[in-house]
């Protein structure tokens, strides 16, 4: 009976976090204005879900994030939508599969990496005040590095074409995005994950989920 209650609470918690992902992905709340750029916040609940509920929950939330990205790029296409929507692919089935990986697979990796990094940091008894921003930063950079890295590896030619540059210039553009967008987003994620995680971890414990304790002790 206790296990059934735990599983029900876990599923409800994941569903609530997924709803937050959907809201952020479809409203201006999903962007925060930084001095130079706008940084996305959609991956924040993915990272928090991975911390509070485990890598499996993080993967599910990453899947929701990726599907929202795919739908958005299908319904309101931009020049780069070919990289995020299989329906916008210009290279057939192969291109569609690449788009699914970039839009969905890379976002699933946010939750997987964040969840297991949190477990590792708890296993070595890193204080939450230190561990939370580390996981927030790494989780956010996972999104940027996997997405931009996959575009470079899988779609460099098409990316160069839409940007009207030589293929040899794509690496510089990718690194420019990582530096100008990815790092500020990661810093913002570190701050937000710390602030929200400090509040939510005790709540999760009171709900009886206690993910971080049960998982760390099982390792």
pLDDT in tens, 127-148: 999 999 999 999 999 999 999 9
pLDDT of residue 34: 55
- Residue at 219 is within a domain: no
Mean pLDDT for 57-85 is 93
**pLDDT averaged over the chain?**
88
Whether the model clears a pTM of 0.85, i.e. scores above it, the answer is yes
| pLDDT(201) > 60 | yes
- Residue at 146 is within a domain: yes
The proportion of the chain whose per-residue pLDDT surpasses 70, expressed as a percent, equals 88
Instruction: Count the domains in the chain.
Output: 1
Give the residues across from 60 on adjacent strands.
none
What sections of the chain are H helices per DSSP?
2-25, 43-53, 55-75, 92-100, 106-123, 128-163, 170-177, 183-206, 211-218
Q: Which two tokens stand for residue 189?
A: 């994620």
Tell me which H or E stretch contains 32.
Answer: strand 31-33
Closest-CA residue to 70 (of 31, 112, 25, 39): 25
| pLDDT(78) > 90 | no
- Residue at 72 is within a domain: yes
**pLDDT tens track for 21-67:** 999 998 888 876 555 445 688 999 999 999 999 999 999 999 999 99
* Structural domain for 121, as ranges: 2-214
- Residue at 14 is within a domain: yes
- Residue at 74 is within a domain: yes
CA distance 110 to 26: 19
The CATH number of whichever domain residue 9 belongs to comes to 1.10.1760.20
- Residue at 52 is within a domain: yes
- Residue at 91 is within a domain: yes
- Residue at 15 is within a domain: yes
Confidence of residue 175 (pLDDT cuts 50, 70, 90): very high
Radius of gyration of the chain (CA): 18
CA distance 57 to 27: 23
């Amino acid at each position: 009976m206790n296990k059934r209650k735990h599983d029900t609470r876990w599923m409800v918690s994941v569903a609530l976090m997924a709803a937050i992902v959907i809201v952020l992905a479809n409203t201006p709340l999903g962007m925060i204005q930084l001095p130079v750029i706008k940084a996305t916040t959609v991956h924040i609940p993915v990272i928090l879900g991975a911390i509070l509920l485990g890598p499996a929950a993080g993967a599910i939330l990453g899947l929701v994030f990726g599907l929202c990205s795919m739908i958005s790029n299908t319904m309101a296409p931009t020049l780069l939508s070919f990289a995020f929507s299989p329906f916008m692919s210009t290279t057939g089935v192969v291109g569609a599969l690449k788009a699914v990986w970039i839009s969905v697979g890379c976002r699933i990796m946010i939750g997987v990496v964040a969840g297991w990094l949190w477990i590792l940091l708890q296993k070595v008894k890193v204080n939450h005040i230190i561990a939370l921003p580390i996981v927030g930063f790494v989780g956010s950079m996972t999104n940027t590095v996997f997405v931009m890295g996959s575009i470079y590896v899988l779609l460099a030619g098409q990316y160069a074409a839409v940007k009207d540059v030589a293929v040899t210039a794509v690496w510089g553009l990718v690194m420019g995005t990582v530096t100008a967008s990815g790092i500020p987003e990661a810093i913002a994620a570190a701050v937000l994950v710390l602030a929200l995680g400090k509040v939510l971890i005790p709540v999760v414990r009171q709900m009886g989920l206690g993910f971080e304790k049960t998982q760390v002790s099982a390792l």
